[in-house]
Chain A
Amino acid sequence: RKEVEQDPGPFNVPEGATVAFNCTYSNSASQSFFWYRQDCRKEPKLLMSVYSSGNEDGRFTAQLNRASQYISLLIRDSKLSDSATYLCVVNHDMRFGAGTRLTVKP
């Protein structure tokens, strides 16, 4: 089993839709979790840290489920500019999931 696994993509959604991604991890000792966004031919950029209590930043909500060992990212009212690849990473060894490609269409 890979250390970090993500929902297979791609996700193609219309503008305004709500979309959710999950990411499972294998190391129960992991302490920190992050979601990154990567645009084509660019470096990954931090989108959100994921805290135990869950956190929200505008249209984006990240949650952690330690019992089931997964984190989630919810995007509400999706915009065309949200089109990108979303990557999760677990702090324990900083290995990334394969990424989920999101395309938001008009």
Chain B
Amino acid sequence: DAGVIQSPRHEVTEMGQEVTLRCKPISGHNSLFWYRQTMMRGLELLIYFNNNVPIDDSGMPEDRFSAKMPNASFSTLKIQPSEPRDSAVYFCASSNRVHNSPLHFGNGTRLTVT
């Protein structure tokens, strides 16, 4: 049974470039979450979707960040333009909130912006 799939695993880019992170949630899960983790700030919730609709994006740092979920099996997190302070590990997770089920995480994308 496939878990949450994220790509790429690692991304190194230069400041000012656009970065797109991808996530495929577990089939049948109706909620998808994007998190960012750094040593300083811990695991921060950026945005989450229920049934492909963004519910809470209050954690998105600024307008440079955007997230979409065009269908139940795919989501993207885009940073444009990227900055060195965006360097972090970005996790995607999915769950079935209808049943109050726990989160299942992907392996994460380690982003380095130079």
Contacts and interface: CB of A to CB of B under 8 A. Distances in A.
Nearest to A44: B105
B105 A94 contact: no
A42 to B, nearest CB: 8
Interface residues of B, number: 19
A94 B95 CA distance: 10
A87 B45 contact: no
A31 B97 CA distance: 11
Contacts of A94: 33, 45, 48, 93, 95, 103
B28 interface: no
Nearest to B105: A43
A97 to B, nearest CB: 8
Interface string B31-66: 001010000001101001000000010000000000
Contacts of A42: 107
Contacts of B35: 96
Nearest to A3: B45
B33 A91 contact: no
A45 B45 contact: no
Contacts of B43: 44, 87, 96, 99
22 contacts: A31-B100, A32-B100, A32-B102, A34-B102, A36-B103, A43-B91, A43-B105, A43-B106, A45-B105, A46-B102, A46-B103, A46-B104, A91-B100, A93-B45, A93-B56, A94-B45, A94-B93, A94-B95, A96-B35, A96-B45, A98-B42, A99-B42
Interface of B: 33, 35, 42-43, 45, 48, 56, 91, 93, 95, 97, 100, 102-108
Interface of A: 31-32, 34, 36, 42-46, 49, 87, 89, 91, 93-96, 98-99
